[in-house]
A and B are shown apart, each in its own frame.
Chain A
């Protein structure tokens, strides 16, 4: 322990706060100058915490399921009737889909269609919210040797969730399509027009830059577009919904606020990445 006079110690104590405040500005500059450093620190942190959250996730999930079950008991009869009606409807659609699928396959054979490569995928559990007040992202717990790479695409059972932006040894971060930094090329299924889906941190991202003359229609399905090489075509994204101020938004098909399990698809695409994610490509010899 350093022995200082009382005056010197008091002066030092008074100085600590201003010095540290100055240091926080320094940190901001450092974070701005080397974004990769900060990201690496964060993902190292996430790596350490992900296994703990993964262990906690199971009992917490059970608890939530228990509560939901009790709540469900109340509405059992109504749900049952509704499900029966829905099942009838779906059966009719299933026969239509099967017929169309058979026809589609026949036509593809006729046309000598080059089939899309079947993507490989891994399934991972969402263990924590990796966003913040100003970011929308989730953290996945993945085992070691997971093989997940940056830029791969995350889907839940309903539709597009987002893209992998950071990968650690035991965790990966998925930037959701609702995040402020998310830009996704999409196609409006009805008109076939291209547009860009722009996240704005709200639950419904906006549609921008559709061609003149084919505005998005209310309720139209939106799927991913393949034009930038970052996404394969025709992944379900959501449906168009107009706000009261007549701005087209997309209601995501994926349940982004209740993500539990997502599948990470590797479509083998090496399209454009965000500048901060740009890194010298690793040597690959095929």
Chain B
């Protein structure tokens, strides 16, 4: 495998341009895929409550890639995705940034523990995180707009995020092993 080759000390010829481009693309895949998915949720598909998809997709993406490819989903990248979320979702600025950064932090903290367990536990952990994220969004929105927002949107948000995660995780896991895998460059 290429990685074993890279790990070995010694002098190697400089990587060709194509190879470097390939590596960059693979490294950038998690972030660009997340941003593309977020923009896609805004396309008028005519689904009822379509707006709830955007935060759910952002949260699931940040969670997955922070767990399995933290190098490609670094805090600055999460910050940028959060800002995009705030702008697209018309949330009070900073709310989405904070939520996603905290999600990233939790993923980093639980990474060791979760990596030894199967999908079910990762999903369960995500459901807890999603509930926390929805609650945080709700509180922040209520405080920043100084208005009591009906809490049913928050519940729906949490449930939708948790329900959407397996679908996205299957797609991401495929990409993680194939097109986004730097070892295959």
Contact = CB atoms under 8 A, between A and B. Distances in A.
A42 B44 contact: no
A180 B105 contact: no
B51 to A, nearest CB: 5
B79 A30 contact: no
Given A28-B144, A30-B93, A32-B144, A56 B43 contact: yes
Interface in B39-86: 39, 42-46, 48, 50-52, 54-55, 74-76, 78-79, 82-83, 86
Interface stretch (A127-135, A184-192, A219-227, A232-240): A127-135
Contacts of B147: 180-181
A107 interface: no
Chain B CB within 10 Å — which of A25, A126, A134, A135 has the most?
Answer: A134
A67 to B, nearest CB: 10
Contacts of B138: 134
Given A49-B39, A257-B48, A132 B150 contact: no
A132 B87 contact: no
Contact of A128 (B42, B78, B157): B42
Contact of B76 (A16, A29, A126, A132): A16
A247 to B, nearest CB: 13
Query: By CB atoms of chain A within 10 A, which of B45, B78, B90, B141 has the most?
Result: B90
Contacts of B104: 17
A74 to B, nearest CB: 20
Contacts of A127: 44
Interface string A1-44: 00000000000000011001101111111111000001001100
A27 B94 contact: yes
B93 A57 contact: no
A60 B40 CA distance: 13
Given A20-B75, A24-B82, A56-B44, A132 B89 contact: yes
Contacts of A49: 39, 42
B44 A28 contact: no
Interface in B82-132: 82-83, 86-95, 97-98, 101-102, 104-105, 108
Nearest to A41: B87
B87 A42 contact: yes
B44 A128 contact: yes
A28 B98 contact: yes
Contact of B46 (A23, A25, A60, A201): A60
Interface of A: 16-17, 20-21, 23-32, 38, 41-42, 45, 49, 53, 56-57, 60, 64, 126-135, 137, 180-181, 200-202, 257-258
Interface of B: 39, 42-46, 48, 50-52, 54-55, 74-76, 78-79, 82-83, 86-95, 97-98, 101-102, 104-105, 108, 137-138, 140-141, 144-145, 147, 149-150, 153-154, 157
Given A28-B92, A28-B140, A132-B91, 6 more contacts: A25-B94, A28-B94, A45-B87, A60-B46, A64-B46, A130-B90
